[in-house]
Structures are given as C-alpha cells and as structure tokens.
Amino acid sequence: MSEYSTIVVSTDNRVGTIQLNRPKALNALNQELMEEVVSVAVEFDADPNIGSLLITGSEKAFAAGADIKEMADQDYPGMYASDWFRRWEDLANLRTPVVAAVNGYALGGGCELAMMADVIIAGESATFGQPEINLGVIPGMGGSQRLTRSVGKAKAMDMVLTGRFIGAEEAERIGLVSRVVPDDQTLSEARKAAELIAAKSKPAAQMAKEAVSASFETTLQQGTRLERRLFHSLFSLADQKEGMSAFTEKRDPEWKHR
Ligand code: CAA
C-alpha cells in the first residue's frame, strides 16, 4: 500500500513523478494533498539522483482547484493564522526544474499549481481558468501574480475577473503553456521533456531555472548581471569543459555533475 493517500509517487530515469490522485474530487487540492505533494517535491529537490520533477493528474483533471468543500466553513482568523496556501510557495521555490503534464481541468489552484512548474505540456482538450470570482473570492495560490507575468494584464484580468475558461490552444497562444500535444500523448511528451532536462548537467539546469525565474523578480539590469555571474560560475565546473570539448570532438557530452 502506498504511504500517501492523495498522490502516487514514482522515480524513473532521474525523474521524480508526482501524480495527483483524488479522482472523486477531480484532484481538488486539499490540505493533506498540499502537504504530501510539497513534502515529496522537497525531498526530490534534495535528492542527487533526481534531475527533474514531473507533476500530473488524471485524464479528466489535472486539478479542479483548491478544495472548496474544505474551505467553505473556514473563517478569517483560521485562514490567517495557518497562512492558508503558504506551503505551496515551497514548491514554487524548488531549484530542480519541474514539468507539468496537464490533461482536463486546470482550474483555480490547479491552474496556479501548473504555473508553479517551469514547463507546462498540455493536452489539446485541457481547460484552464481562474474561476474563484464565481465563489466570491480571488486566486490565492499566486494566480493573480504568475498569470499576469505569464500572459500580461489584458488576458489575466479577463480570466480573473470573468472567471472564463480557456482551451489549450488559447493557453498556448497567450503564453500560458509551453506546448500543446494530442491528449493521449501529454504524459509521454511531458516525460520526454522531463527526462531530457534530467539528463543535462544538473547545476547548469538549476542555474538556467534560477536565471529565467529571476526575470520575474528583478530589473533587467539586475537580472542580466545575475545571469552573467551564473554563466561565469559554470566555468568552475568540469561540465563546461566536457560540454565544449564534446562539441569540438563531435561526440555526446558525458556530464560529471548530476
Ligand atoms: N473542490 C472540491 N470538490 C470539487 C472541486 C473543488 N475545487 N471541483 C470538483 N469537485 C468535486 C465535485 O464537488 C464533485 O463531487 P461530488 O460528486 O461529491 O458532488 C466531483 O468533484 C465531480 O465534479 P462535478 O460533478 O462538478 O464534475 P463536472 O464534470 O460536472 O464539472 C468542473 C467539472 C467544471 C471542473 C466543476 O467540478 C467545477 O466547476 N469545479 C470547481 C472549479 C473551481 O471553482 N475551482 C476553483 C476553486 S477555489 C481555488 O482554487 C482557490 C485558489 O486560488 C487556490
């Protein structure tokens, strides 16, 4: 029996996979699931044998949002005291690259969870939305911030204020997802991407993630300076010599740092 009640966890080819598994609730993100997902992800992040994470759901739903039934009777003092949703920030702050494979609904917290990933591969019938406004609330897992940074004010306001759902094609057009693939290939394509990333030099992949992520937080000048310093620092690792020698010798690199 699995030691988790809301997720299924596996590792293969240096990829740590977390599958959300509350099918009866369309993978609604309750507190138990949050704790299980984040604690496993943090463990993967510290594991030298893991080079990337893959987060996925089911055919029908990546996740249909935070668990509305769990939240319905909560009050302000309790939400504030527990800093409801804060734990998800630990997932957003992982250093290991994360790929999300999204089929079906990615709504509210589901869309926000997908946006915490670095690469989002969506099936052609995936549906994204921030419908919290229809519940009398607003996004609470970073949607107002990450969505706006990904797709700009016009689209973010449209989604957050009207609560309208968008399909995968529109999500790709506006820059919310990285790629759209046939539904039956979502997981395999996402796995391929995760394996490709996990096969790179790990510090290079982590620093690439750090540099791109910094663009959400810094000025252009600070960001380009950070990028240069990270770039310079990679010259202290054997993998820079290996990668450049392999190129000139016309062979595949064999990374030392995994
Ligand atoms: N929380 C709790 N339970 C949920 C849920 C959610 N977010 N989404 C779906 N479920 C449950 C349903 O209540 C239902 O359970 P029962 O069988 O016990 O009634 C089961 O999952 C199946 O759902 P439906 O019968 O509704 O399935 P459907 O195919 O008719 O509709 C849907 C699918 C359009 C996704 C619909 O379920 C829906 O609108 N879900 C809620 C979407 C939503 O509002 N998400 C935002 C949540 S708030 C949030 O996420 C805050 C934040 O920023 C973090």
Q: Mean pLDDT throughout 207-214?
A: 98
Tens-place pLDDT, residues 27-44: 999 999 999 999 999 999
CA dihedral sign of residues 69, 72, 73, 76: positive
Q: Which fold has domain 7-199?
A: 2-enoyl-CoA Hydratase; Chain A, domain 1 (3.90.226)
Residues of each domain in the chain carrying CATH 3.90.226.10 = 7-199
Residue 132 appears among annotated catalytic residues: yes
Strands 98-102 and 52-56: parallel
Is 43 annotated as catalytic?
A: no
CATH 1.10.12.10 in the chain, residue ranges:
202-249
Centre of ligand 1 from the C-alpha of residue 63, in Å: 9
> With b meaning 16 or more CB within 10 Å and e meaning fewer, what string describes 26-42?
bbbbbbebbebbbebbb
pTM of the predicted model over 0.95: yes
DSSP 38: H
3-state SS class at 205: helix
List ligand 1's pocket residues with C-beta within 6 A: 25-26, 28, 64-69, 105, 107-109, 112, 131-132, 135, 139-141, 143
Q: Which of the 8 DSSP states describes residue 59?
A: S
Per-residue model confidence (pLDDT) at position 258: 83
- 112 is an active site residue: yes
**What average pLDDT is seen over the chain?**
98
Q: CA-to-CA distance for 105 and 126, rounded, in angstroms?
A: 6
Which residues, including other chains, have CB under 8 Å from residue 101's CB and lie 6 or more apart? Answer: 54, 55, 56, 57, 62, 121, 186, 187, 189, 190, 191
pLDDT, average across residues 49-71: 98
C-alpha 88/C-alpha 34 separation (Å) is 7
Q: Which helix (H) or strand (E) holds 195?
A: helix 186-198
Class of domain 202-249: mainly alpha
Q: Could you report the predicted ipTM of this complex, rounded to two decimals?
A: 0.99
